[in-house]
Amino acid sequence: MVDVLGLFSWPLLLVGAYLIGSIPSAQLLARLRGVDLRRVGTGNIGAGNLTHTVGWQWGLAAGVFDGLKGLIPVLLARFVLDMGLAASGMTGLTAVAGHCWSIYLRGRSGRGLATSAGLLVALDPVLIVWVGGWSLAGWRIGGGFAGFLGWGLLPLLAMALGRPGPETLFLVLLSATLMLRRAQGNPGDPEGAGNVLRRLIYDSDPVDQAYPETADEASTQ
């Protein structure tokens, strides 16, 4: 007999990961304080904007929850359903996509960094040292630029470390997803090639000048 549950386990997990990733934890926590993150600070629905508009405790809580959104689906795929690195990584990637483009908000939401960090902890924890190091470096060279180097160069690091081809390919997709979300910015951000390039590299728009230290929310989002 065909194992129907096994046949559909991965597609069902992908759908579940996307729906869980779409939960806008920062916005939900902000609403508890009567704040709409889309209308304050940088306008980004993420833990960094929550930190600077409501408080660091709230931002930390959102960051932890966002990290779990990437961690748990990958752990389920790898150690419960016994899937390979590529399938497990793609499960986490759907959670990241849900965070970046939430079905509940019908459009763009956070930047997906905390969810991606949770994914890496479950998939290849050594790599979290790389992106974590760049997050710390962001205090000196700017969080947006540090995030661009840390996540943008992640596939090259995987190649240098001799990671398997499927894992490296997955990391290319993850990096591309995060860079695309950065380049998009928030609804209402200025268009044009120059603005898109600035957002891609520095995750910064003119609206961020009131909150320059939160331009990319690199360590918490």
Other CB atoms within 10 A of residue 63 CB? 27
Would you give per-residue pLDDT tens digits along the chain (221 residues)?
Answer: 345 455 678 889 999 999 999 999 999 999 999 999 988 887 888 888 899 999 999 999 999 999 999 999 999 999 999 998 889 999 999 999 999 999 999 888 889 999 999 999 999 999 999 999 999 998 888 888 999 999 999 999 999 999 999 999 999 999 999 999 999 988 778 888 888 998 999 887 554 444 444 444 433 35
Ordered by start, the domain boundaries in the chain are 4-214
Residues pairing with 107 in the sheet: 102
> What per-residue confidence (pLDDT) applies to 30?
95
8 Å CB contact between 2 and 51: no
Residue closest to 178 by CA, chosen among 41, 32, 46: 46
pLDDT at 206: 55
What per-residue confidence (pLDDT) applies to 20?
Answer: 96
pLDDT of 95: 97
pTM of the model: 0.87
**In terms of DSSP H, where are the helices of the chain?**
4-21, 25-32, 47-53, 56-75, 85-100, 113-123, 126-141, 143-152, 154-160, 165-184, 193-202
Q: What is the model's pLDDT at position 5?
A: 52
The one-character DSSP state at 101 is E
